[in-house]
Amino acid sequence: MILVDNEVVLHIDNVKAGYVVGRRFIDAVSSVSLKLFYGEVFGLAGESGCGKSTLLKVIYGYIEPPLKRIEGSLILRTKNERLSLHELSDDELKRRVWWRYMTWIPQGAMSVLNPTIRVRDHFIEMFKLYSNIDKREVYRLTTEYLEALGLSKEVIDAYPIQLSGGMRQRIVIALALLFNPILVLADEPTSALDVVTQKILLEQLLKVQKERGFTLVLVSHDMDVHGVFTDRIGVMYAGKIVEVGSTDKMFAEPLHPYTKALIGSLPRLGDKSIRKGLSGAPPDLADPPPGCRFHPRCPYAMDICRREEPPIIEIEKGRIVGCWLYVKG
């Protein structure tokens, strides 16, 4: 994976967003900066509640109260234009960006397919909204897409309620890819599936991703899924991205103490040696601890960690970590 700046599809810079609930502010995406590259599979890892889904919503621009974006910029680079997503209105996002350049598969999307509408009609609706292809062509394209994802023609005529979770999820993915987006945001697409179905789905997803070359952001709390599926990983903890790196290096040599704990606590088949977890629990994002947000649970915490937030530094090309242990001098 070569990380060259002109290959950047999305530049997220210093984005801050969260939920306004009464007088509390839940700081779920806290000054996140990140570059996503053309054609890569980027994994967003971290435990539940750390802000993964919120970050995805903010990238997509699906911002509804109580969610609020406070600051930061998001620049999307398509072949012909450079779009400042943070400056676009909902209407402009809808018209110019969503489905065409960028799609979002929300967490649990497979359960929001309308159970009373045949699978085929979900596609026809989409085409009606976003293009002016005639019905026959729509049917042909739909069949083609679903077959590429390993689904039969019968499925197209079925109602979602008649289909298994794995199949509904494939349909949701097929819908997301309909207009050949350059960036696909998938939030825990396999978390509700059993492992066998998960494997089949991941296989097919990777195959279409390779064929079409879109950038795929995969949110998952499952480190093993990241390990087999992604090219690069960003690890989130309590609203912050604490480490970014290529998947190989991240697992071979995790840098951040949180990443170390996350990987070190995973049981392996054929290995019964005792593993250690972390003490405590992630903080309340309405009232995060000062300094490094991980310090109350960190086995390496030093004085400075309790007072000051660690800077995010690039240790080597593409290897980013936010931890005082790596700040020299």
Partner 1 sequence: MVIPLIELVNVSKYFGYGVIGLVRFPAVDGVDLKIGGEKPEVLTLVGESGCGKSTLAKIMLRILRPTSGVAKYMGKDMWRLKRSEVRRFIRDVQPIFQDPMDTFNLFESVESYLISAARNLLKLNEEQATERIAQTLEFVGLTLDKVRGKRPQEFSGGELQRLSIARALLVQPKLLIADEPVSMLDASLRINILNLLRSAKEEFGTSILYITHDLATANYIGEKIFVMYRGSIVEQGNIEKVINKPLHPYTKVLLDSLPDYRMGREWFKKQLPQTLRTVIEVREMLLKGCKYIYYCPYKTQQCYEKPIMIEVEKSHEVACWMYYE
Ligand X SMILES: Nc1ncnc2c1ncn2[C@@H]1O[C@H](COP(=O)(O)OP(=O)(O)O)[C@@H](O)[C@H]1O
List of residues contacting Mg ion (CB under 5 A): 53, 107
Residues 147-176 contacting ligand SF4, CB under 6 A: none
By the 8 A CB rule, do 255 and 246 touch? no
x/- track of binding to partner 1 for residues 256-295 (CB under 8 A): -----xxx-xxxxxx-x-xxxxxx-xx-------------
Using alpha carbons only, give the angle 262, 170, 92 rounded to the nearest 5 degrees: 90
Residues 243-272 contacting ligand SF4, CB under 6 A: 256-257
Residue 202 touches which member of Mg ion, ligand X, ligand SF4, none, C-beta under 5-8 Å by kind: none
Largest CA distance in the chain: 68
By the 8 A CB rule, do 68 and 20 touch? yes
x/- track of binding to ligand X for residues 272-311 (CB under 6 A): -------------x--------------------------
Kindly tell me which of 1 and 302 has the beta carbon lying closer to ligand SF4.
302
By the 8 A CB rule, do 266 and 45 touch? no
User: Of 271, 261, 217, whose CA–CA distance to 103 is shortest?
Assistant: 217
x/- track of binding to ligand X for residues 17-56 (CB under 6 A): --x-x----x-x-----------------x-xxxxxxx--
Judged by CB under 6 A, the number of residues near ligand SF4 is 14
Cα separation, 188 vs 49, in Å, equals: 13
Instruction: Classify burial at 165, counting beta carbons within 10 Å of its beta carbon; exposed 0-12, middle 13-18, buried 19 or more.
Output: middle
Kindly tell me which of 55 and 292 has the beta carbon lying closer to Mg ion.
55
Judged by CB under 6 A, the number of residues near ligand X is 14
Using alpha carbons only, give the angle 71, 73, 77 rounded to the nearest 5 degrees: 165
Amino acid letter for position 54: T
Q: Rule CB under 6 A: say whether 189 interacts with ligand X.
A: no
Rg (CA), the chain: 21
Kindly tell me which of 108 and 289 has the beta carbon lying closer to Mg ion.
108
Where does this chain bind partner 1 (CB under 8 A)? Answer: 47-48, 150, 152, 154-155, 164, 167, 194-196, 198-200, 202-203, 206, 221-229, 247-248, 251, 261-263, 265-270, 272, 274-279, 281-282
